[in-house]
Amino acid sequence: MRACRHCRKIETDKKVNQCAGCQSHDLSEDFSGIVVVIDYEKSTIAQKMGITANGKYAVKVR
Ligand SMILES: [Zn+2]
């Protein structure tokens, strides 16, 4: 799995080289922590992280 360096969205498909969230190609294998956002409008974690879509996100991306 890789995480986007810009929006921290996690990409699980190895064939995909573009972030589904922000269209960035800057994906990193070096990340830690996974947050699964099911309902971002009600999630306080999503609000703190600035997440505006449901999905898997890395807590830290290097
Ligand atoms: Zn992204």
In order of start, what are the domains of the chain with their CATH numbers? 2-61 (2.20.28.90)
Concatenate the DSSP letters of all residues of 13-60 into one string.
-TT--S-TTT----EES-EEEEEEES-TTT-HHHHHHT--S-EEEEEE
Helix or strand (DSSP H, E) at 11: strand 10-11
Q: How far is the CA of 19 from the centre of ligand 1 (A)?
A: 5
Residue 14 burial class via C-beta count within 10 angstroms: exposed 0-12, middle 13-18, buried 19 and up: exposed
Q: How far is the CA of 33 from the centre of ligand 1 (A)?
A: 16
Q: How far is the CA of 21 from the centre of ligand 1 (A)?
A: 5
pTM over 0.95: no
Q: Could you report the per-residue pLDDT of 26-51, keeping only the tens digit for each?
A: 999 999 999 999 999 999 999 999 99
Q: How far is the CA of 45 from the centre of ligand 1 (A)?
A: 17
pLDDT band at 22 (very low <50, low <70, confident <90, very high): very high
Q: How far is the CA of 47 from the centre of ligand 1 (A)?
A: 16
pLDDT band at 53 (very low <50, low <70, confident <90, very high): very high
